[in-house]
């Protein structure tokens, strides 16, 4: 009798799981920037069942900042209720494959925005990302990075958030700072995705830096802590 009850229950659970994955598949698509070139990179697009704002997540601009890349990959399994989530997990493919900060030409991708479609590889990648953000018009961009400890000196930011401007996101950032151990910095460098997208497109960007001295899983979870907070605050989940 127990077996007869368990089998239909198991079948029902498997059927439900199948429906869940089918539904998730319908709401999850991919497209490519610089498609058909050696610089091709995938963007995952996840749509909620209801209309709403968009959030754009970029990781791997510096190829050796692995925690952000892995966090973005995990984020691709997200389900959202409304709006659209765009995830570019590996902006600098060559850097990620070779565990190096810069592109194959030894250029820092995060100093080449808004880029040039006919320029160096770093400029072409930057132009493609910039153009996609301009087209999608997200409410906010999250830019995932890693840093040294704050006491290590110049540009050593530890666990921190960086914003060129707080226009439109001030309350969200303040609440995020109150709920986490992150600190806030301003004035991202010229040519960075943060400064360029904020100044040129008027779209707020939050750069998330996690401390490299922590274990990898801790850094990944810190990135996800911020992304989950932003998705909830913006009403996607």
CATH of residue 127's domain is 3.40.630.10
Mean residue pLDDT across the chain: 90
Q: Is residue 104 part of a domain?
A: yes
Nearest CA among 53, 30, 52 for reference residue 43: 30
The torsion angle over the Cα atoms of residues 2, 4, 5 and 8, rounded to 10 degrees, is 150
Q: Is residue 84 part of a domain?
A: yes
Checking if the pLDDT of 6 tops 90, the result is no
Distance CA 193, CA 19 (A): 39
Q: Is residue 11 part of a domain?
A: no
Checking if the pLDDT of 224 tops 80, the result is yes
Read off the pLDDT of each residue in 191-211 and give the average, rounded to a whole number: 98
Q: Is residue 3 part of a domain?
A: no
Read off the pLDDT of each residue in 22-50 and give the average, rounded to a whole number: 88
Q: Is residue 137 part of a domain?
A: yes
Looking at residue 152, its pLDDT comes to: 60
Count helices and strands in the chain by DSSP H and E runs: 7, 8
Per-residue pLDDT tens over the stretch 126-182: 999 999 999 999 999 999 999 976 666 555 778 999 999 999 999 999 999 999 999
Q: Is residue 201 part of a domain?
A: yes
Range(s) of the domain holding residue 62: 28-233
Read off the pLDDT of each residue in 195-224 and give the average, rounded to a whole number: 97
Q: Is residue 13 part of a domain?
A: no
Say which residue, 122 or 8, is predicted with more confidence.
Answer: 122
State the sign of the Cα–Cα–Cα–Cα dihedral 169, 122, 147, 186: negative
Q: Is 63 left (phi over 0), alpha (psi -120 to 50) or beta?
A: alpha
In the chain, the number of structural domains is 1
Q: Is residue 102 part of a domain?
A: yes
């Amino acid at each position: 009798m127990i077996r007869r009850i368990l089998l239909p229950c198991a079948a029902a659970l498997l059927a439900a799981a199948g429906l869940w994955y089918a539904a998730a598949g319908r709401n999850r698509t991919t497209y490519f920037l610089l498609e058909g070139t050696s610089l091709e990179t995938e963007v995952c697009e996840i749509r909620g069942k209801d209309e709403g704002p968009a959030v754009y997540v970029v990781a791997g601009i510096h190829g050796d900042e692995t925690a952000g890349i892995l966090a973005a990959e995990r984020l691709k399994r997200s389900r959202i209720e409304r709006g659209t989530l765009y995830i570019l997990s590996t902006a600098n493919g060559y850097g990620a494959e070779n565990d190096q900060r810069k592109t194959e030409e030894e250029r820092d991708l995060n100093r080449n925005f808004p880029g040039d479609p006919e320029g160096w590889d770093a400029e072409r990648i930057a132009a493609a990302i910039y153009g996609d953000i301009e087209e999608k018009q997200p409410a906010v961009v999250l830019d995932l990075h890693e840093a040294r400890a704050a006491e290590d000196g110049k540009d050593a930011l530890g666990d921190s958030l960086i914003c060129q401007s707080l226009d439109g996101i001030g309350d969200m950032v303040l609440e995020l700072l109150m709920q986490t151990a992150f600190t806030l910095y301003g004035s991202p460098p010229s040519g960075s995705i943060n400064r360029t997208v904020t100044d040129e497109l008027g779209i707020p960007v939050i750069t998330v830096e996690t401390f490299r001295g922590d274990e990898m899983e801790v850094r990944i979870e810190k990135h996800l802590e911020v992304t989950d907070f932003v998705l909830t605050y913006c009403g996607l989940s």
